[in-house]
Structure 1
Amino acid sequence: MTPWILGLTGGIGSGKSAVVEHFGRLGVHWVDADHAARWVVEPGRPALATIAARFGDQVLASDGSLDRAALRRLVFADPVQRQWLEQLLHPLIRQEVADKLAQAQSPYAIMVSPLLIESGQYRQATRVLVVDVPEALQLERASRRDGVTEEQIRSIIAAQARREERLRHADDVLVNDRDMSWLAAEVESLHRFYLTLRGGKA
C-alpha cells in the first residue's frame, strides 16, 4: 500500500528537526524540504548556474558551491528577488521531495518543510502536523542554535507564515515547550495514532 503523507511544519526554532528525528527512530521514512533545497543547488545542478548568472560570483563560495548566507542576505532584503528565487527553486524542491517520498516503505511518510504552508506543499500532504512554540522561546532557541541576532530571527519569522495561518492548516498540533523526554513521549503517542489511520484519515 502506498504510504500516506504527513506534512510537518513549524516556525524557525520550533524543534521540527527533533520531532522528525524521533519519528525516524520509530521507523518512519521522512524527507526534509530544507535538505532537498540544498540538493537542488549543489555544484553541477542547473539551478546553481541559474542563480550565479542572476546574482554573480558574490553568491558562490571559494569551492564553487552556493554561499547560502550571501544569497540569503540579498533575497531577504528584496521581495522581488526572493520571489524570483522561490519560483526557480520550489518546483525543483517539490520534485526532489516527491522522488524521495516515493522510496518510503513505512505506513506513512513525513515531508518536513518550514514553508509547507507558504509554498503550497501542504497540498501534497494528507494531514498536517504543526510543531508550535511560544515566540519568546522560538527567538531564544533559534538565536542560540544559529548564532545570529534576534533581529535576523525576527526577519525570518516575518517571512514565514504567521503562526495563526500555520495553525489554521493543522490537523494536529504539538506544542514543543518542554523537555526532550516529554517531546519523545508526545511523538510516540502521535505515531501510535497515525498507525491507526487509513490513508491519513480516522
Structure 2
Amino acid sequence: MGITGGIASGVTLVARMFGELGAVVIEADQVSREVVRPGTDTYRAIVDAFGREVVAADGALDRRRLGQIVFDDPAARARLNAITHPAIRRRIWERIEQIRRDTPDAVVIVDIPLLLDTAGPETFNLDGVIVVAATPQLQVERTMRRDGLSREDAQRRLEAQRPVALKATEADWVIDNSGAIAQTRAQVETLWRELTTANN
C-alpha cells in the first residue's frame, strides 16, 4: 500500500501507527537521503547540476540550501526531480521486492509524499493508496509549529502542493487526521483489520 497526503497532514504519524500494528514501513524520505549520500551517482549528478554551493562542510549535500534553490524555481525543481526520482523509485522497488520474497504475507506500507503527484501506485506495483487528510488551516498551523515558519511562509508551502482534498478523491482509503490522535488511531486500526483480513 502507498500512503501519502500533504504537508503536515500527518502521513508520518499514520505510517508509524501502521508500523506499530505490524506493517513493514518504507519511508521515501529516508530512501531519498540514502540515494544522495556522497559517492553515489545521484550525489555526483546533483553536484554537477547545481554546483559546489549545495555541498555542506562535511561533504554531504546541504539539503536546506538545495531546497532554497529549487523551491521558487520550477525549472530547477524539475531538474532535481529528474535526477533523484528514478533512483528513489528504483531503491523502493528493490525493497518491496525483497520484502515480498522474504515475508510474502507482510503488509508493506510505502510512505511517499508525492505519490499522486509524480508517480502512481502502478509505478511500485502497489495494491492501493491511503491518503492522510487534514484541513488546510490545520496544515498551516502544524507547519508553522513544526518548521518555525511565519503564517505566510507556511501558506506558501501549502499552496505549492496539490490540495489534500483533491488527492483524497484519488485514494482507495482516507484517514482523517483533523481530530484527536485517538480518533486517527481508531481509523488506522479499522483499516489495519481490513487489510490483514484481505491478506489472509
Unaligned runs of 5+ in 2: none
1:118 is matched with which residue? 117
* C-alpha separation in 2, matches of 1:170 and 1:63: 41
Question: Which residue of the other structure, out of 83, 91, 96, is the alignment partner of 2:86?
Answer: 91
- Asked if the contact 1:36–1:96 (Cα under 8 Å) also holds between the matched residues in 2, the reply is yes
Aligned residues, how many? 194
Cα offset for 1:152?
3.0
Cα offset for 1:31?
0.6
Question: Which residue of the other structure, out of 53, 58, 64, is the alignment partner of 1:63?
Answer: 58
**Distance verdict in 2 for CA 1:100–1:131, change over 3 Å:** same
2:21 is matched with which residue? 26
Cα offset for 1:165?
3.1
Cα offset for 1:155?
3.1
* C-alpha separation in 2, matches of 1:58 and 1:154: 28
Cα offset for 1:102?
2.4
**Higher fraction of helix:** 2
Per-residue Cα deviation, 1:151-170 (whole angstroms, up to 9, x for no partner)? 33333323322324312210
Paired AA for residue 137 in structure 1: L
1:107 is matched with which residue? 106
**Distance verdict in 2 for CA 1:34–1:121, change over 3 Å:** farther
Alignment map for 1:20-59 (pairs within 5 Å): 20-59=15-54
**Matched position secondary structure for 1:110:** strand
2:73 is matched with which residue? 78
Cα offset for 1:91?
0.7
**Matched position secondary structure for 2:45:** helix
**Distance verdict in 2 for CA 1:115–1:49, change over 3 Å:** same
Q: Could you tell me the percent identity over the aligned residues?
A: 36
Q: TM-score with structure 1 length normalisation? A: 0.89
* C-alpha separation in 1, matches of 2:110 and 2:49: 30
Give 4+ residue runs of structure 1 displaced > 4 Å after superposition. none
Paired AA for residue 167 in structure 1: A
Q: Which deviates more, 136-145 or 96-105?
A: 96-105
Unaligned runs of 5+ in 1: 1-5
**Matched position secondary structure for 2:70:** helix
- Asked if the contact 2:9–2:139 (Cα under 8 Å) also holds between the matched residues in 1, the reply is yes
* C-alpha separation in 1, matches of 2:96 and 2:151: 34
Cα offset for 1:188?
1.0
Cα offset for 1:198?
5.0
1:3 is matched with which residue? none
**Matched position secondary structure for 1:64:** coil
Paired AA for residue 94 in structure 1: R
Q: TM-score with structure 2 length normalisation? A: 0.90
Paired AA for residue 143 in structure 1: M
Paired AA for residue 185 in structure 1: A
